Structure 1
Amino acid sequence: MSYLFPTYSRWEVEPESAEGSILIDKDGKRYLDFTSGIGVCNLGHRPPAVQEAISTQLNKFWHVSNLFIQEQQEIAAKHLSQAAGMDLVFFANSGAEANEAAIKLARKATGRQKIITFHQSFHGRTFATMAATGQEKIKEGYGSMLETFKYIPFNDFSALKGEMDEKTAAVMLEIVQGEGGIHIGTQEFLKKTEQLCKEYGALLIIDEIQTGIGRTGKAFAFQHFNLDPDIVTSAKGLGSGLPIGAVIGKKKLEKTFGPGSHGSTFGGNPISISAAIATMETIFQEEFLKDVQEKSVYLSNKLTELLEPIPAVKEIRQLGMMIGIETDVNLPSLLKELREKGLLALPAGENVLRMLPPLTATATEINEAAETLKSTLLEYSKSAV
């Protein structure tokens, strides 16, 4: 028997060790890990610089509480603020906590309650972030949600314009709907959304929990579209596997989050902060991000070449190192077969295979993943190629 609540449909893989893009299970089997811990291990497993930073901090102190001045928090906040082109940071422990704080911040700053989000979105599993999520399956069985969220189709500006009013505190969106199936916002929709928020005095919240920290080839995905958000949230890739989340905001919001307005016992934990600093000092380097962009193009070309001719493949959607492959085959069976062949991938949305490779993945590893996908999808295809 297990003493764990069965909240996860666990795979048959039990990890023993991991390094870079490679995971070894307890039986010694090798896997190419193109899940990155669901977009967390952007530098691969156990990056040396991060491991060294964690080890150094472990020998200083682990926790003192946020009543104390902690220089490392200031360093981490400066990295985030400068990378996002913003001003202030609040540290939490997860993406859901960061989004929860962003919702509170927007409502308090504007004095309004209504927040517009989108179908197929995912913002977390606390009550506020669950209510913000535009997927009914996330909310089933939990009773009444917060009533101040309104949901509209993604990339539909007419629907947004029809819902926006003077009671709207914020529009909250993902640049790429990761859990929803790798749906990417269009330039026109995103820029018009930003302008509409300004017209109505609403805040633009961009959820970069999965897309941030280099995942798309920029420090943050909104930078591909020349956007100017009021609040950005970050988490997954920020700590290379250590639990941390962050809300990044503009200077005008400083008074809203004054003493006693919000808090977190473990937010900005010294160990997680040390991991975040080492992670950002690597990823936010111009040369590193350029390399990610080049790998993204290489990966896109490889997938197009090998997968597009396969009848089972309906569409390939990609921004940076976020890939969604829409298929017409049974996705759980396909993912299991890939695991048997040594490739770890993820589901997303309806019948979308999602890959989130480490940003450090090599061309050889990309080729291996693409060839494994090709051979497996050919087996599952309804007609021979």
Structure 2
Amino acid sequence: MEITVHRPGELTAADRGAWTALQAKAHLNGSPHLANPFLAPEFTLAVARVRGNVRVAVVREDGDPAAYFPYQRSRAGVGKAVGLGVSDSQGIVHRPGFTWEARALLRACGLVMYEYDHLAEGQGPFETGTTGRFASPVMDLDQGYDAYLAHLRQQSPKFLRSTLAKGRKLARDLGEVRYVHDERDPGALRTLIAWKSAQYRRTGRSDRFAHTWITGLVHQLFHTRGPSFAGQLSVLYAGGRPVAAHFGPRGERVLACWFPAYDPDFAKYSPGLLLHLRMAEAAAADGIAHLDLGRGQKAYKDSLKTRDITVSEGWVALPHPVALGHRAHRAPVRALRNTVLARPELFTPADRLLKRLGKIRSRYRKE
């Protein structure tokens, strides 16, 4: 086994092609989780354009590429999953039957540890350091949109009837409802970002778009177009104006639901739910196998999903003081957050408090 480390821009066209081919065949090889667009070389390249510490370890066996391991590395040797905090699938992309020893891989990459928060299934050597496993709902479309709707009618009949009725009312009240699956207007992307930032502030959450690298990453992906990967903006219009939008990466078989938002002036019509149904219909027609709604239990995800996949959070580390220090700093915060999220008696009052603080913050911003 030979392991070499590269900056993403140094990868040859052959390596990028081999990486893409591993993803394209993943579902045939019993590893469909490896087809997620967050594991694609294009996502790693986009992160590298806004973060200078991205590296890719290329593993070869008998001269042939066997695996690609993207990560970010601090000067102290702390490794993190690429795009940690915004990436919804992480790990090593590999060919069938490939095995590795986590600590040996860390040493070859000059890392004292590797931290993840959305580790994909089937990453056994990294799972030894898992501190939590979480459900990530998906909408299965491999049998077509009609089959998906049939599932919803059986699983959530009241939800489906109510949502479709709101769509008809939206058309009556505002005018023609039009859906664009792959909107190329940059102005529509700016509108989505403004909605999402306002939502973060309104609900008391940290505004991700206040971080210039995240905004830069979204714009990089918006301009990334290819047959196996693209940054895709989908917009629902009513009466000629946008009422809901979503932006996320799309692979050959998976569309990742990343940044959805809607105009709160039209909240009574549930435009976000209507948008997801339209996205599912168009994605199924494009041959997408499923929409990945992302880690986290929310009412709308429970209504739309067909099943859950599992992602993990944790780290693997060498016996090194830097790794011990990093874990000592990060572990208590993670444990507290996950405890609150997992227990409704804690989450509900915490959520109410955040929203109250968000309203206060928004009021002061207006003044």
Fold conserved between structures, TM > 0.5: no
Structure showing the higher helix proportion among its residues: 2
Q: What is the TM-score of this pair, normalised by structure 2? A: 0.25
Structure showing the higher strand proportion among its residues: 2
Q: What is the TM-score of this pair, normalised by structure 1? A: 0.25
